[in-house]
Structure 1
Amino acid sequence: MTTRPLRDRTALVTGGGGPLGRAFSLALAQAGARVILVGRNAQALSGAARRVAMEGGTARTAVCDVSDPASVTALTDTLAEEDISLLVNNAGVAGPVKPLTEVEPDEWDGVFSANVRGVYLMCRAFLPSMIGAGRGDIVNIASVSGKRPLLNRTPYTASKMALLGLTRTLAAEVGPHGVAVNSLSPGPVRGPRMDRNFRLEAELTGSTPEEAERAFASRAALGRLVEEDEVAKALVAMLAMPGLCGADIDLSAGMIAPS
């Protein structure tokens, strides 16, 4: 079996300037793919692209707000000459950490705009070319929080549950055209986003961020968070499984195992 299963494929990664987007892009490039990093922050995208290049990969960047139809249309025009056969919908926001009764409507809408609307718009934009070519892969980055309760995070969990439904239904729609749609559901990934969540949870409960992290990690069978490179390796492994379609891969250190 080849050690570079994605050679000569072009992969588009949204949220490419964030920590997990960078990890995905680097892993895809190391597996042989040409990577296009998409996001709202040009400086962060450039930094991620430089990291890919330093590791011997090929990457370019494109600024886009995936929740804005006009911005997505402009992106498709910019990339019209690219044969994009792999779309990784990673862009998203964590949203508020508070009881539902304290969540403002604009906070709720903001989470769904980034986490669900953005995926819909990107799939809508790039699926036609995949269907026309009779091949392609879409991987939506969901979350274990879409499959079990996460207190004080209702907008986020609801958006990730919606994303799982979108994945399964879209897989049934486009699978007959040779396009595989799957989701990858990480558990809490160590990094700045979880540090922010633990800080807000600590403020809400009167604990410390360290106590909030330990309490969260204790819910996992392995008793720990997952690492960015573990999630990136899982993505590449999924793409090496040609029969995978309409599936959700859990990578949560056993977060869904306890009852």
Structure 2
Amino acid sequence: MTVRGRTALITGGGGPLGRAFALALVEAGAQVILVGRGEQALADTATRVAKDGGRARTAVCDVSVPASVHALSDQLADEEVSLLVNNAGVAGPVKPLTDIDPEEWDDVFAVNVRGVYLMCRAFLPPMIAVGRGDIVNIASVSGKRPLLNRTPYAASKMALLGLTRTLAGEVGPHGISVNSLSPGPVRGPRMDRNFRLTAELTGTSTEAAERDFASRAALNRLVEEDEVARALMAMLAMPGLCGADIDLSAGMIAPA
């Protein structure tokens, strides 16, 4: 299996993982379309891709809004998007469930679950029509083991696993593989924010919060962005992979 010559659409394309996925896919010969809510962030990722000699198109879209996703599918009607990476996601609040407002809960599910549903609904029909395609949903190890004070995020990522496995059964007969990639905590701005909020909540230091979190992994470390991108490429190189969830967590789900 190869991605050379294929068109890949990456949601959350302006974020760190979106950038890592784009660089890996372009290097392998794919045409990349970056999707996200922030025009400048998308442009920054496209510029980074260009520095490596590649090219990435950008399209502003809020994956949680049906009209926005519909407009995106119309805009790309002439493109054969055969690879969809549902990477858009929000971290949500860091506080006990009893302190979480319903609006905060809904905001997390709107992007992390509803957004994946809307993107799949929009871009699956052309894949079904030609009998080929790959969808990779970026889930998380969160929810597979306790993640205190992060119930909306953990619940949304577990919901994504159910969506992945069921959708794989629905569209696998059409030649389309649907899988999920579940990173552990990935070093970067989002985890820095979470460590800071955890430190404020627990009355400890940001450094101590990071050390405590990393100690839950068998390898006693966080995962790097380029490792997640390499995992994505490895999954796409396995044509028999369908309905699977791949953990890349440095052993975060290993028993403590």
Aligned length: 256
Task: Give the corresponding residue for 2:149.
Answer: 152
1:112-131 to 2 correspondences below 5 Å: 112-131=109-128
- Are 1:225 and 2:192 counterparts? no
Does residue 211 of structure 2 align to residue 214 of structure 1?
yes
- SS of the equivalent of 1:138 reads strand
Aligned residue in 2 for 1:23? 20
Q: Secondary structure at the match of 1:8?
A: coil
Q: Does 1:98 align with 2:61?
A: no
Paired-residue identity, %: 81
CA distance in 1, matches of 2:143, 2:110: 16
The amino acid across from 1:163 in the alignment is L
Structure 1 residue 146, shift from structure 2 partner: 3.0
Equivalent-residue separation in structure 2 for 1:66 and 1:14 (angstroms):
8
Contact 1:33 / 1:58 at 8 angstroms: preserved in 2? no
Mean CA deviation greater in 171-180 or 55-64: 55-64
Matched, 1:87 2:84: yes
Question: Could you list the runs of 4 or more consecutive aligned residues of structure 1 that deviate by over 6 angstroms after TM superposition?
Answer: none
Structure 2: tracts of 5 or more residues without a match: none
CA deviations 1:87-141 (Å, max 9, x no partner) are 0000010000000000000000000001000000000000000000100000000
**TM-superposition CA deviations, 1:128-176 (whole Å, max 9, x none):** 0000010000000000003111000000000000000000000000000
Give the aligned partner of residue 74 of structure 1: 71
Structure 1, unaligned stretches of length 5 or more? Answer: none
1:248 Cα deviation from its structure 2 partner: 0.3
Deviation (angstroms), 1:57: 1.8
Which amino acid is the alignment partner of residue 9 of structure 2?
A: L
Does the alignment pair 1:174 with 2:171?
yes
The residue aligned with 1:32 is 29
- Match status 1:135 vs 2:152: no
2:181 equivalent among 181, 184, 187 = 184
Give me the whole-angstrom Cα distance separating, in 2, the residues matched to 1:145 and 1:246. Answer: 19
Separation (CA, whole Å) in 1 of partners of 2:228 and 2:122: 26
The one-letter amino acid paired with 1:179 is: I
Q: TM-score, normalised by structure 1?
A: 0.98
Counterparts of 2:139 and 2:243 in 1: how far apart (Å)? 13
Q: 1:59 deviation in Å?
A: 0.9
Match of 1:247 in 2: 244
CA distance in 1, matches of 2:158, 2:240: 23
